[in-house]
Chains A and B, each alone.
Chain A
């Protein structure tokens, strides 16, 4: 079964600094997708970035980048130049997909990031 592990319950970072949020995964599939979502205190899950297992380059979206190390089965999120508005829960997720039989995201337990001035 697929599994996502986020070992950092909480992280602190000073404004304008970079921070890395860890994510490791377990799967026997050759083709898979990894996603990061941000969940502010308002509760909505906001999509940040996606990495496909066959993508040769690490994904980047503005200040977000994904450090994808396939052999280590890790997909860490890097946030550069942190802002106070980045304070939120961050979830790593893997997509379990099989034709039209199943399609679901498997989430980790999340990391709470707090950015201080």
Chain B
């Protein structure tokens, strides 16, 4: 079956602009995650959705960042008033059902490379 897909693959924007990044998880996966990966670093957690609700948004750096998953499938990460420090690769992952146990594996998409000029 199809894996996690993310669009766009690359996004270049100017400081102060608004951007939306989209994630389409693996069909049937109930959990969805967003991570941010800066150059030379491992991914850092942003937010976790179980179904339509954000179960844990503790990783969002500030209130310029917001994410939604209105129908429990596709998710959009929204960044307002972008800053140069927001430049990174934004990774999305999905998993079958975390409630099934500690071994539930997260499968990642190819990421969106965001560049803020």
Contact = CB atoms under 8 A, between A and B. Distances in A.
A100 B108 contact: no
Contact of A101 (B35, B55, B106, B110): B55
Given A43-B89, A44-B111, A52-B102, A106 B55 contact: no
Contacts of A93: 42
B62 interface: no
Contacts of B108: 37, 44-47
Nearest to B99: A100
Contacts of A45: 43, 91, 93, 108
Given A44-B111, A97-B98, A108 B42 contact: yes
A47 B105 contact: yes
A14 B109 CA distance: 30
B23 to A, nearest CB: 13
A105 interface: yes
Contacts of B45: 104-106
A97 B106 CA distance: 12
Contacts of B50: 100, 103
Contacts of A57: none
A108 to B, nearest CB: 6
Contact of B42 (A43, A47, A109): A109
A35 B95 CA distance: 14
Contact of A104 (B33, B40, B41, B113): B33
29 contacts: A31-B102, A33-B103, A37-B108, A44-B108, A44-B110, A45-B43, A45-B91, A47-B106, A47-B107, A97-B98, A97-B102, A99-B99, A100-B55, A100-B99, A102-B48, A102-B58, A103-B31, A103-B33, A103-B55, A104-B59, A105-B93, A105-B106, A106-B45, A107-B42, A107-B43, A107-B44, A109-B41, A109-B42, A110-B41
Given A43-B113, A50-B103, A105-B106, 14 more contacts: A35-B105, A35-B106, A43-B111, A44-B108, A91-B42, A95-B102, A97-B102, A100-B50, A101-B56, A102-B56, A102-B58, A104-B56, A108-B42, A109-B42
Interface of B: 31, 33, 35, 40-45, 48, 50, 55-56, 58-59, 89, 91, 93, 95, 98-99, 102-111, 113
